[in-house]
């Protein structure tokens, strides 16, 4: 199988993606809070961010269970999300090809700088630089 790509302006990409005018699209998602559900819920059947249009009722049920019946039980909730991810990967509803990362080097005299894994990356509120 051969795949050819076309580079288009980002605004055109967004329009084509929302109109489902593609065979394959390279897209990304950044979580706004540190929880796997931030990535999983966007692939439920009726989510506006599910631009690929993948649907699976078992996946939807596992995510709904994680958000409702098991929402207050961390072990069961996590198991629901693992089940959903297994369904997603079996169906290849998406094909993850990379994970964003950032190298950091901090001097030992920097204290109190908080790095968040989602949302606003740095919190300088308690930053203290000693000599």
Cβ 16 vs Cβ 8: under 8 Å = yes
Whole-prediction pTM? 0.77
User: What is the pLDDT of the chain when averaged over all its residues?
Assistant: 90
Question: Given this model, what pLDDT does residue 118 score?
Answer: 77
Residue 80 pLDDT grade (very low, low, confident, very high; cuts 50, 70, 90): very high
Cβ 114 vs Cβ 123: under 8 Å = yes
CA geometry: angle 88, 100, 125, nearest 5 deg: 120
Q: 129 has which bridge partners?
A: 110
């Amino acid at each position: 199988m051969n795949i050819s790509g076309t580079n288009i302006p980002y605004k055109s990409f967004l329009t084509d993606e929302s109109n489902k005018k593609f065979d394959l699209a390279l897209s990304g998602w950044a979580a706004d809070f540190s929880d796997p559900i931030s990535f999983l819920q966007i692939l439920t059947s009726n989510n506006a961010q599910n631009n690929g249009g993948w649907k699976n009722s078992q996946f939807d049920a596992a995510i709904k269970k994680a958000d409702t019946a098991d929402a207050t039980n961390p072990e069961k909730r996590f198991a629901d999300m693992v089940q959903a991810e297994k369904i997603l990967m079996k169906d290849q509803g998406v094909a993850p090809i990379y994970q964003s990362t950032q190298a950091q080097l901090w001097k030992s005299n920097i204290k109190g700088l908080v790095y968040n894994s989602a949302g606003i990356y740095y919190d300088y509120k308690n930053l203290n630089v000693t000599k």
